[in-house]
Amino acid sequence: MRHSSILRSLAGAGLVLGLSAGGFGAHAGVLDEPHLRIVPRTEAEKERIGKVLAAPEDFSAAQAFEEMSAGAATVRPRNNADAFSQPSGNMPFADELDFKVGNGLFRKLWVSSPSSTLASDGLGPLYNARSCQRCHLKDGRGHPPEGPEDTAVSMFLRVSVPGGEEQAMAEIEDYISTSPEPTYGAQLQDFSLPGHKAEYRLDVGYEEREVALSGGEVASLRVPTYEAADLGYGPLHPDAMLSPRVAPQMIGLGLLEAIPAADIMAKADPGDVDGDGISGRPNIIWSLEYDMPMLGRFGHKAGAPTVKHQTASAFAGDIGISNPLFPDPWGECTAAQAACRAGPHGDGDDRVYEIDGEGLDLVTFYSRNLAVPARRDVSEAEVLRGKEVFYDTGCTSCHTPAYVTHRLEDQPEQSFQLIWPYTDMLLHDMGEGLADNRPEARATGREWRTAPLWGVGMTERVSEHTYFLHDGRARSLLEAILWHGGEAQAQRDAVVEMAPEDRAALIEFLESL
């Protein structure tokens, strides 16, 4: 294991680690977690947790509770597209109504203002989708456009230019300063209301590239190119940086939010002190909720610190809906888009925001409590062999198998659960092949947050596709592995060179998650 027991014990004791060289010594306040009401762990609990999370020495049988990916919050795996749409398995009955109302708001189609349905107007004027569900299809992952007749409704381009954000630069060490593109803002919207021009049309092209594997096998990767075509408001800034993003799956977010920040920080090795080639770094984000730096947890580059922040940002950027954290009624429209800002918005009448604090909290509760299905075939011989290959290859250096969440006063669904998300929640340099060359907070243009792997084996069941990575370029789990580079180059090469039967077992294991 690449993380020393000393680091783990320090983190478990809640001590601040002074890793100043690219680390987090200058902003140790990110160990604070104001979004959670935490009951401190006892010394006995810390000792128990250390034993439970120890790496297995025997791969002939499944570990205790390994089938329960989300602890008591786990639900049985359904054989239909609703597999990711169930509430936490341990949700109190009294909270189920909040979950269902939040689901209704998540699925609700917003309309333009003015409208007779005042609770549903405020769409756009520029937007990527009319509802949260339109991007997160069945609460699963989105996909790139499939052919000329398909829209990019669950995929868009983020955009920024260098410079700006002086406050964040001063408050957060190693922050990479960027600003929204002056004309188009922070992301490009490909839909618009009547009387307004859409910002662009996303064109995606692919070139096939073959990769030779051991045993005479051959894989093919599709190398993508992206174009912001039919720009509606003039050319992009010459220094504009574009990054394609598909909507990620929604399951287990509340449990990821409840992982102790100290446990995540303890896995960081920004200077690769142990020399294993893996140098995960935390992203640090300025929280609009709490007006302070916080650990980034959500998004492809860990660009949001909490589920609520991520939800509010998506309402504003994707749908154009104002809320307490992003109060502009015109959503993403910039000062250069005067007609958009001057158009009718849904902030009149008795409303201050197009979705108020109560509505935002309900959608946050829903998003926090979308359940993770139980593992399948956890004790099958081929799956167990694949798990051993996963460990032996070093995949757990980034895809940390398990955690125990905080004990929480007011979130029984997330409180003190043994979970198996297979992520360290840190940023890693994934090489030039996956680079978007667009920084986000402390994340460089080559860095991405380790994606959680729970639920990946059910992607086709839920989303009717098997597209993976931040832009959906990989058409299978094997292709996703073969795109790994940078810090994961050695693991990628090991998969290429290993015996075909071991490679097949590895994929079998991943599909059981």
pLDDT digit string (tens) for the chain, length 513 residues: 333 332 333 233 332 233 333 344 444 567 889 999 999 999 999 999 999 999 999 999 999 999 999 999 999 999 999 999 999 999 999 999 999 999 999 999 999 988 877 778 899 999 999 999 999 999 999 999 887 777 778 999 999 999 986 666 677 889 999 999 999 999 999 999 999 999 999 999 999 999 999 999 999 999 999 999 999 999 999 999 999 999 999 999 999 999 999 999 999 999 888 888 899 999 999 999 999 999 999 999 999 999 999 999 999 999 999 999 999 999 999 999 999 999 888 866 677 899 999 999 999 999 999 999 999 999 999 999 999 999 999 999 999 999 999 999 999 999 999 999 999 999 999 999 999 999 999 999 999 999 999 999 999 999 999 999 999 999 999 999 999 999 999 999 999 999 999 999 999 999 999
* Tokens matching residue 217: 């096998």
- Residues 17, 10 contacting (CB under 8 angstroms): yes
pLDDT of residue 149: 72
Would you state the pLDDT for residue 281?
Answer: 96
Whole-angstrom distance, CA of residue 179 vs CA of residue 186: 8
Cα–Cα distance, 73 to 81 (Å, whole number): 19
Query: How many of the other CB atoms lie within 10 Å of CB of 65?
Result: 16
Q: Phi and psi for 403 in degrees, rounded to 5?
A: -145, 165
Q: Give the side-chain half-sphere CA count within 13 A for 83.
A: 24
Sign of CA dihedral 22, 28, 29, 33: positive
By C-alpha distance, which of 459, 478, 258 is closest to 373?
A: 459
Pairing of strands 218-229, 241-246: unpaired
HSE of 227, CA atoms in CB hemisphere, 13 A = 6
Mark residue 299 as left, alpha or beta (left: phi above 0; alpha: psi -120 to 50; beta: remaining).
left
Q: Where are the beta strands (DSSP E) in 103-214?
A: 126-127, 155-162, 178-179, 191-192, 201-212
For the chain, the farthest-separated pair of C-alpha atoms sits apart, in whole angstroms, at 69
Q: What share of the chain is helix, strand, coil (3-state, %, to 5)?
A: 30, 15, 55
pLDDT for the residue numbered 29: 66
Backbone dihedral angles phi then psi of residue 455, each to the nearest 5 degrees: 90, -5
Q: What is the pLDDT of residue 16?
A: 29
DSSP label of 83? T
Judge residue 382's burial from the number of C-beta atoms within 10 Å of its C-beta, 0-12 exposed, 13-18 middle, 19 or more buried.
middle
Q: Do 203 and 190 form a contact (C-beta atoms < 8 A)? A: no
Question: Residues for the chain: how many in total?
Answer: 513
Q: CA-to-CA distance for 438 and 425, rounded, in angstroms?
A: 19
Nearest to 30 by CA among 283, 399, 258, 407: 283
Q: CA 320, CA 193: separation in Å to the nearest integer? A: 11
Global pTM value: 0.93
What's residue 343's pLDDT? 86
β-pairing, 403-404 vs 407-408, is unpaired
Phi, psi values for residue 509, rounded to 5°: -65, -50
Torsion of CA 442, 448, 452, 455, to 10 degrees: 140
List the alpha helices (DSSP H) in 191-326: 253-257, 261-265, 307-314
